[in-house]
Amino acid sequence: MPQAVDPRRVAEHGSEVMRLVDEIFPLVEGFYVDLHRNPELSYQEHRTSRAVAEWLSRAGYEVTTGVGGTGVVGVLRNGEGPTVLLRCDMDALPLEEQTGLPYASTARGTAADGQEVPIMHACGHDAHTACLVGAADLLAGSRDRWSGTLMVVAQPGQETLDGAEAMLADGLYERFGRPDIALAQRVGPQPAGMIAHRAGVILGMSSTVRVRVFGSTGHGGFQPQTGVDPVVIAASIVTRLQTIVAREVNPSEMAVLTVGVLRAGVRSDLVPSEAYLEINTRCLNERVADRLHAAIERVVRAEAAASAAPRDPEVTVVRASGLTRNDAEQTRALTAAHRAYFGDAYVIDLPEPFTVGEDFGVFGLPGDPDPVPYVLWLIGSTPHEVWAAAPGTTPFDKLASVPGSHSSHFAPDREPTLRAGLAALTIAALTYLGRSAGPGRATSGLARNGRSFTLDEGESTQNTDMRALLDDDEGESTQNTDMRALLDDDEGESTQNTDMRALLDDDEGESTQNTDMRALLDDDEGESTQNTDMRALLDDDEGESTQNTDMRALLDDDEDESTQHTDMAELLRDPPPPPRGPTQGTETGPSSSFRPPSGPAFSAPPPSGPPVDAPPPPPGTQPHQDEPPHHY
C-alpha cells in the first residue's frame, strides 16, 4: 500500500509547484481549446495523442505512443519511491455541439459502423487531457520536490469503455512497470472548481446490450398474415423491458434500463425482416448487473417465441464497465491533501455514487490477488451562474438539472475547471511522491525549453494569449488585471512578481516569456484558434473582469460564514465562488475576510493554495466518511 505524505507537507509542496501554474496556464488553456475544437472519436485520437506525446517529451518524459491503439505512455523516473500512474482519456462523442461557444466543434468523422457523425467533446476528456499534460509538466519542472516514478497514461477509447483494457492487453504494466497507485479525475456536475471525493464506489456499472430480432418479410397491406413482424416483437420487448427495474430489482437497489436505439423497416407497407435495439443498463453492483442482463435475454427470447419468430434473436453485451470502487484509505489521504491545499469549502464528499460508465477501474486489476489501489475524483465544471439558475430546491435537484456530460450543451466553466483540475492532479501525485523534507525551486519544463507549445497547424496557443495581453488596453482581461497587479504590487512579496520582473528585466538573457512574446508579434498570418476565444473574452467586457466579480462577490459576502461549510448540501446550496485568476494576492484575490474563522490562512485560495507556511488544517475537519451502506 503506498504511503501518503502528511497533507500539510503536500500542501506546501503543492503551493511551491503551483507557482509555476501562471507560466503554463495559458498553454494548458490553449491546448484545451484546441482539443475542444478538434475532437476525435474513440481509437481515432491520432492528432490528440500526437499532441500529448509532444507535450510529454518536451517536459522530459520517456514517451511511447500506440499503446493499446492510440494510447500514450510517458514515464519520468526520479529516484527512489513509489510509481504513481496518472490517467486521462482522449476520445470524444458522436454528438452535434450546441453550446454556442466561440471554440465549439464543427468536426465530423466516421463512426465505427461507417456512419458519418458530428463529433464533440461532451464528456470533458479535453479538460482531462489538458490538465494531465499540464500537471505532468509542473511535476517534471519540480523534480527536487519529489522522488519516485511518474507514469502518465493517456487512454484511448474511454467512451467505448475498453481503452484501459486495450492498454493493459498491450503490456502496459509489463512494459512500463506496475504502479503502486493509479489516479484519475473527471469533470463532474458540481459548481466549477469544487472537488468531489467518494471512498468506495464512486461510479456505477454500465453496459450496452445489442439485440437483433428476426421476422419474415411480407406485404404489410396486402398479405400481413404471411409475415412475422419484427417491429411488433421489438415494440413488445421495449414495453416489457420497462418492468424489469419496476418488478425484478429490489427497491433498495439502484438500476437503470434505457432502450436508446430502435431501428426497423424502410416503407410503411413492408414487413421488414429484422429489428435492432440497443439497451443501456446502469447499476451499483455485480449482482444487479447479472440480474438485468439475464432478464433482458429472457424477455427478448420469450417475445420472439411468442410471435413465432423464424430465428432465435441475437443478444450481445457489447460493452460493459465495472464499478469504479475507490480505495477507501487512499481516498481519505487524497481528500485530506486536497482540503489542506484548497480549503474545506472546495472539497466535498459525494453522498451517493453517480451512474456514469467508466473503465478507469480496470487499471486497478479487479479480481487480481494483488490489485492496484486507485482513486478517481470529480472536478466541478458547472458555471456558478448556471448552478444558481438551475431549477430545484435542493442541491441534489440542481445536480440533476444542470447540463451534464453527454449533453450537446455541456460547457464546463473553462478557467476554474482547468485550474482546479491542474492543481488537484498535481497535489494528488505529490501526496505519494512528495518528499517529507527538502526545498527546491520549480521551473516549467516547457518554459525551460524556451519555446511555446506549437500545435499541428503551427498555431502557438501562447501567441494568442500574449497578444491579447499586449493588445488589450481598454478591456478588462483577467490576465491583464493579473499582470497589472503583478507589476503594481511593489511592496508585496508575491513570488509571481519576482518571476514577472525577472522576465521583463532579463534583456540579455533568453527569457522564455520574451521569446514567446516576440514569436507572437512576429506571427501575423496565423489564425490561432485561441484568438477567437480570447477576443470573445475581451469583447465580453462590460468592464467586468471575472476576477473582479469574484472579488466583489467575496467582499459582499462578508457577514456570512460561507467558507465554514463542511456539509456538502450546504456547500452546494451556497458554493464558494470559482477559483479564477493566477494571482491570489490581496490586490486581485479574494479579500482577507474570505477565510474560515478557525481554518487555514486563506490569503491564497485555490488553485494557488495556502501559503507555504500554512498552519495545519482546522481541528474540526470531519474525517472522510467511508462508503455509505448499500443494501446489496
Residues that bind Zn ion (CB under 5 A): 123
- In whole angstroms, how close is the CB of 48 to Zn ion at the nearest point? 15
- In whole angstroms, how close is the CB of 359 to Zn ion at the nearest point? 10
Q: Residue 70 and residue 293: Cα distance in Å, rounded?
A: 31
* Amino acid at position 623, single letter: P
Instruction: Rank residues 88 and 123 by Cβ distance to Zn ion and give the closer one.
Output: 123
Quote the DSSP letter at residue 346.
G
- The answer to whether 88 touches 155, Cβ cutoff 8 Å, is yes
* Nearest one of 598, 607, 556, 540 to 578, comparing CA atoms: 607
- In whole angstroms, how close is the CB of 40 to Zn ion at the nearest point? 14
- In whole angstroms, how close is the CB of 425 to Zn ion at the nearest point? 19
DSSP β-ladder status, 62-67 and 71-78: antiparallel
Instruction: Rank residues 187 and 304 by Cβ distance to Zn ion and give the closer one.
Output: 187
Dihedral angle over CA of 249, 356, 170, 178, nearest 10: -100
Instruction: Rank residues 186 and 332 by Cβ distance to Zn ion and give the closer one.
Output: 186
Instruction: Rank residues 76 and 123 by Cβ distance to Zn ion and give the closer one.
Output: 123
Instruction: Rank residues 120 and 534 by Cβ distance to Zn ion and give the closer one.
Output: 120
- In whole angstroms, how close is the CB of 231 to Zn ion at the nearest point? 31
**Would you give the end-to-end CA distance of the chain in angstroms?**
27
- The answer to whether 323 touches 205, Cβ cutoff 8 Å, is yes
Instruction: Rank residues 58 and 128 by Cβ distance to Zn ion and give the closer one.
Output: 128
Instruction: Rank residues 123 and 429 by Cβ distance to Zn ion and give the closer one.
Output: 123
Instruction: Rank residues 120 and 517 by Cβ distance to Zn ion and give the closer one.
Output: 120
Residue 559 zone, left/alpha/beta (φ > 0; ψ -120 to 50; rest): alpha
* Amino acid at position 129, single letter: T
- In whole angstroms, how close is the CB of 355 to Zn ion at the nearest point? 12
- The answer to whether 413 touches 383, Cβ cutoff 8 Å, is yes
H helical segments located in 196-348? 230-248, 286-306, 328-342
Instruction: Rank residues 283 and 336 by Cβ distance to Zn ion and give the closer one.
Output: 283
- In whole angstroms, how close is the CB of 123 to Zn ion at the nearest point? 3
Identify the bridge partners of residue 181 per DSSP, sorted by sequence position.
Answer: 84
- In whole angstroms, how close is the CB of 565 to Zn ion at the nearest point? 30
* Nearest one of 523, 521, 522, 515 to 457, comparing CA atoms: 523
Cβ-closest position to Zn ion: 123
Q: Taking the mean position of all CA atoms in its chain, how far away is CA 7?
A: 23
Residues near 223 by beta carbon (within 8 Å), at least 6 away in sequence? none
Residues near 33 by beta carbon (within 8 Å), at least 6 away in sequence? 103, 414, 461, 529, 530, 533
* Amino acid at position 146, single letter: W
Instruction: Give the C-alpha distances (Å, rounded to integers) separating 354 from 110, 341, 400.
Output: 30, 25, 11
- In whole angstroms, how close is the CB of 470 to Zn ion at the nearest point? 38
- In whole angstroms, how close is the CB of 90 to Zn ion at the nearest point? 12
Output the 3-class SS for 428-453. HHHHHHECCCCCCCCCCHHHHCCCCC
Instruction: Rank residues 123 and 500 by Cβ distance to Zn ion and give the closer one.
Output: 123
Q: Per the structure block, which three cell numbers stand in for 442?
A: 520549480
